[in-house]
Amino acid sequence: MMKPLLAPLFALLSVAAQAQEATPGAGTAVSPAGDYVHSEREMIAGLRLNPDGSFEYALTVGSLDESAKGRWQAEGNRIRLTSDPRPVPPTITATRIDADPGKPFSIRVLTPRGVDMPGVDMLVEFDSGDPLDTYTPGVPWTVPADENRSPRFVTFSMPSYRLRSERLPLDPKPGTTAIFSLTPNDFGVADFTGAEVEFQAGKLILHRPEGSMDFRRVEPREKDGEPE
């Protein structure tokens, strides 16, 4: 589930484009088909527009790996992307209550392998006062020692992966652990349906709700190891 997507990313950036592009001239449009790359600090992303109207995308930054594929259609200097198939976001649901005698009430989010999932944002609501913004630490989560209120609801989220659970009730009895299960579905696959790309000379600008990214065109000589 968490396997990095480096292989498809570098494959996307290293394989030479097969399409023969038109030579610019009077009345001749330049095809946007080709390979494009975005690179900054620890982030690298690749976007390939295939001549058959399909696209491939991959990104890696820090602990986040993301991919996408589907169809593209040019409308003037704009390109519309549609994910195909459309990815299903991951979910987190309540599973069971485990007995854990002698220990405080705790919360666990488990992967399909039965291990704790770290880094899931949690909004914990109590019987009074403001909620607590926290996250799963990769081990059972317990109420902070200086917290005297009783937790009543929890909502899980991972915005980068389009995950947001329902508002789930809690029964915080000492000696019990509330178990929640992560169903990966298409974990790490971005939904590009409705995303728009601007096509400019030598580059693309990808617009998404998360922000815009500039991609420069990778020429065949660069992909063959001979940068201009």
pLDDT digits (tens, 9 = 90+) for 27-66: 445 789 999 999 988 889 999 999 999 999 999 987 788 9
Q: Is the pLDDT of residue 84 over 70?
A: yes
Scanning the structure block, which residue is given the tokens 């509330």? 178
- Residue 26 has a pLDDT of 37
User: Within a domain: residue 97?
Assistant: yes
- Range of the structural domain that residue 213 is part of: 6-87+188-223
CATH for 63: 2.40.128.500
The stretch 94-104 carries a mean pLDDT of 97
User: Within a domain: residue 199?
Assistant: yes
Token readout for 108 is: 């666990």
Shared-domain flag, residues 15 and 51: yes
**Measuring CA to CA, which residue among 214, 197, 207 is closest to residue 75?**
197
Q: What percent of the chain has pLDDT over 90?
A: 70
Tell me the torsion sign for CA atoms 168, 175, 97, 160.
positive
User: Residues 72, 5, 208, CA angle at the centre, nearest 5°?
Assistant: 40
Amino acid identity of residue 96, one-letter, is: R
Number of domains in the chain: 2
CATH for 102: 2.60.40
Shared-domain flag, residues 116 and 55: no
Whether the model clears a pTM of 0.85, i.e. scores above it, the answer is no
Q: Is the pLDDT of residue 16 over 60?
A: no
Shared-domain flag, residues 193 and 83: yes
Instruction: Give the lowest-confidence range in 22-31, 99-108, 155-164.
Output: 22-31
Q: Is the pLDDT of residue 219 over 90?
A: no
The stretch 12-20 carries a mean pLDDT of 41
Tell me the torsion sign for CA atoms 68, 91, 184, 172.
positive
- Residue 87 has a pLDDT of 95
d(CA 155, CA 124): 7
Highest mean pLDDT range out of 19-23, 91-95, 195-199, 220-224? Answer: 91-95
The mean pLDDT of the chain is 86
User: Within a domain: residue 178?
Assistant: yes
Q: Is the pLDDT of residue 89 over 50?
A: yes
The gap from C-alpha 67 to its chain's centroid, in whole angstroms, comes to 8
User: Within a domain: residue 228?
Assistant: no
The per-residue pLDDT for range 125-167, each reduced to its tens digit, is 999 999 999 999 999 999 999 999 999 999 999 988 889 999 9
